[in-house]
Structure 1
Amino acid sequence: MKKIIFTRHAKSSWDYEVSDIDRPLKMRGIQDAYLIGDRLKKENYHPNLVFSSPANRAMHTALIMLRQMAISPSTLKIDANLYDFEGSSLITTIKSLPNEADTAMLFGHNYAMTSVVNMLGDKFIDNVTTAGVVVINFASSNWENIPEEKGVTELVLFPKQLK
């Protein structure tokens, strides 16, 4: 059985004259990342694999949440495929995950996150909000088969639910 913890980066700033990949988190985004990370720890989520988009806002979200979940930041790997806004590269990453691991946590962007969780999960989600998490379980023992099967949506968690 495989599990994916899909995580959209926390709220980022548009206030700076920087490229999209370099945009920082806003204070609200930082606070939301701490909040969600705390809840994931309480719910006993412990991924074997953690991948983030190379975007500053995604990596910062990942580092905050991992700290709150008591997971070493050294487990975080950067995957350029997660700097994806429509979903096909995200699927490529999922299919290439090593089968020895059963739980992966992926930090990325919308529209890719919303598109993929709706394609793979059994619950429709209108929009994965910033710092939002969707956990989907799959019966498959092989990551490569995931895109061909529908999983069971186990958790939908948005910061607004915790405030």
Structure 2
Amino acid sequence: MKSIILVRHGKSSWEFDVSDALRPLKNRGINDAKLVANQFVRDNGLPDFIYSSPAVRAFSTCKIFLAVFGLSEDSVNVKDELYDFGGENVVRFIKRLPNNYNTVMLFGHNHAFTSIANIFGDKFIDNLPTGGLIKLNFDISDWKDFKKGTTEFIIIPKELKA
């Protein structure tokens, strides 16, 4: 059994004149990431390994999760392949994951993560919102056999707010 946890970066700010890869999180994005990370860690164990897109908004979201998990930045590996909006690079990346990792958390972007959730999960979602998290399970023993699986759960920031 293998599991992928997809975390879409928190809400980013457009108020700065920077390239897409350098866009920072808004305060809402920071707060939403804390909410989702705390909800996740309350109900789940930690992943075997964590990877992040190099984009500032994705890696910043990842660092918030690391803080909640009590992990250092050494616990994450930044991969250019995760700075992907279509999903093809992310799928290729997943198929090359080390088999000693059974549960992997990825921080990245839409439309890639919504597409992957819909193609490889069994619950349709219109959109994985910013700061959203989805866990997919697969009845495989080798990542190269990555195929349709089941959607275990989705955590949406808006649903955690009182």
TM-score range, shorter chain: over 0.9
- 1:159 aligns to what? 157
Partner SS state of residue 57, structure 1: helix
How many residues in Structure 1 have an aligned counterpart in Structure 2?
161
**Alignment check: 8 A CA contact 1:41 1:70 kept:** no
TM-score, L = length of structure 1: 0.96
TM-score, L = length of structure 2: 0.97
Q: Distance in 1 between matches of 2:149 and 2:40?
A: 20
Q: Distance in 1 between matches of 2:129 and 2:82?
A: 17
- 1:126 aligns to what? 126
Q: Distance in 2 between matches of 1:8 and 1:39?
A: 15
- 1:51 aligns to what? 51
**For the aligned residues, what is the CA RMSD?**
0.8
Partner SS state of residue 33, structure 1: helix
Q: Distance in 1 between matches of 2:21 and 2:155?
A: 25
Give ranges in structure 1 of 5+ residues lacking alignment. Answer: none
Give ranges in structure 2 of 5+ residues lacking alignment. Answer: none
Cα shift readout 1:28-47 (whole Å, capped 9, x = no counterpart): 00000110110111012311
Deviating 4+ runs (over 3 angstroms): none
Matched letter for residue 13 of structure 2: S
Q: Give the superposition deviation at 1:70.
A: 2.4
Q: Give the superposition deviation at 1:145.
A: 0.7
**Alignment check: 8 A CA contact 1:10 1:130 kept:** yes
* Percentage of identical aligned residues: 48
